[in-house]
Amino acid sequence: MAQTATITHPTVRTRTPAKHRQRQIVFRILSYVLLIAFALAILLPFFWMLSTAFKEERGLFVLPPQWIPNPFTFANFERVLTPTPQANIPMAFVNSMFVALTSTIGEVFMGTLAGFAFARMRFPGRGKFFGLLLATMMIPGVVTLVPSFILFKELGWLRTLAPLIVPVMFGTAFAVFLSRQYFATLPQELEEAGKIDGANMFQIYLLIMLPLAKPIIATLFVLGFIARWNDYLGPLIYLSGGKPETFTIPLALASLQGAYTLEWTTLMAGSTVALLPIVILFFIFQRYFVESIALTGIKG
């Protein structure tokens, strides 16, 4: 008689729902603890800057460190907001705001316009031109610093705000790239509907596509504004030797440092004033960042 072979399968142990739920809770708690620790490590220098801005000079290097100012004073802000022959922080604030707004608005408009053309229009050499544009992103800014300085010197733009505004107003490779990625995700039917209604390509861009590009516009505006607001190398090269009334915020803050002494409390007060526009701008437009980054990565 033929013997029947029996095959035994190894028993598979399955996790009970209770153990699986416990692992999820532990993992979530550890994740929250790590995120909170990481956030505190990032915020700690900013809290120390804010604390120092309200301290007196004698309470700066005491041990143990004073996290809460005692006594609490506004004298540092009064000092930093008072114009001096070396630094004019209020005027520098106005100059930085003017440079950041004008250059960033121009960058957003020209960047989205070029990005729309690369994404929705067909013309000879489109791919090659776009690749050449992306290649410029790999060139360090210091490589073009000397030629740019010579050019602006010949134009008579040194010690003025023009070198900080004009080159950026006509768009940057990053703005064109990010805009192109975003416009490529919008449905083709929107463009076809505009053509049926008799709109040309510029009207389609201005009246149909641009109102739908609020996330990318907000993202480009915030990133561009922060870059221009915090720029120190450009003002140092093009504005050095000029009047303090032409300085921007980073250059004016650097001029607070004396030859032999440095008033840290005054410098921290100036840094706090310089940080306010960036913080306000970020909290206004923060909800657009995730949406724009997610959409620009769908297809390219």
Same domain (yes/no): 60, 112: no
My answer on whether 260 and 168 are in the same domain is: yes
Q: How confident is the model at residue 176 (pLDDT cuts 50, 70, 90)?
A: very high
The reply to whether 88 and 69 lie within a common domain is no
Residue 280 lies in a domain: yes
Q: Residue 110 — very low, low, confident or very high, per pLDDT cuts 50/70/90?
A: very high
- Residues 88 and 68 occupy one common structural domain: no
Q: Residue 164 belongs to a domain with what CATH number?
A: 1.10.3720.10
pLDDT digits (tens, 9 = 90+) for 123-132: 898 889 999 9
Regarding whether 39 and 111 lie in a shared domain, the answer is no
- Tell me: do 52 and 180 sit in the same domain: no
Does a structural domain hold residue 265? yes
Q: Domain for residue 137, yes or no?
A: yes
Looking at the domain assignment, is residue 1 inside a domain?
no
The pLDDT confidence band at residue 16, using thresholds 50, 70 and 90, is low
Of 73, 105, 138, the position where a domain reaches its end is 73
Of 48, 73, 98, the one marking the end of a domain is 73
Classify residue 3: in a domain, yes or no: no
Q: Examine the pLDDT at 151 and tell me if it is beyond 70.
A: yes
Mean pLDDT of 81-98: 89
Statement to judge: residues 110 and 146 lie in one domain: yes
At 265, is the pLDDT very low, low, confident or very high (cuts 50, 70, 90)? Answer: confident
More confident position, 296 or 250: 250
Return mean pLDDT, the chain. Answer: 85
Q: Which residue has the higher pLDDT, 87 or 250?
A: 250
- Boundary of a domain, candidates 10, 44, 73: 73
Record the pTM. Answer: 0.82
97 falls in which pLDDT band (50, 70, 90)? very high
pLDDT reading at 300 higher than 50: no
| 33 pLDDT above the threshold of 50 | yes
Q: Give the pLDDT mean for 10-20.
A: 62
DSSP character string of the chain: -PPPP--PPPPPP---HHHHHHHHHHHHHHHHHHHHHHHHHHHHHHHHHHHHHTS-GGGSS-SS--SS-SS---HHHHHHTS--SS--HHHHHHHHHHHHHHHHHHHHHHHHHHHHHHHH---TTHHHHHHHHHHGGGS-GGGGHHHHHHHHHHHT-TTSSHHHHHHHHT--HHHHHHHHHHHTTS-HHHHHHHHHTT--HHHIIIIIIHHHTHHHHHHHHHHHHHHHHS--HHHHHHHTTS-GGG--HHHHHHTTS-SS---HHHHHHHHHHHHHHHHHHHHHHTHHHHHHHHHHTT--
If asked whether residues 172 and 206 sit together in one domain, one would say: yes
* Residue 220 belongs to a domain: yes
The answer to whether residues 106 and 61 belong to one domain is: no
pLDDT digit string (tens) for 44-80? 989 989 998 998 887 777 778 788 888 888 988 998 8
Is 101 among the domain residues?
yes
Residues 265 and 228 in one domain: yes
What pLDDT score does 23 carry? 85
Count of domains for the chain: 2
Do the domain assignments include residue 6?
no
Checking if the pLDDT of 7 tops 60, the result is no
pLDDT in tens, 271-292: 999 999 998 888 888 777 666 6
Range of the domain at 34: 26-73
Same domain, 61 and 89: no
Instruction: Tell me what percent of the residues of the chain surpass a pLDDT of 90.
Output: 43
Whether residue 137 is found in the same domain as residue 187: yes
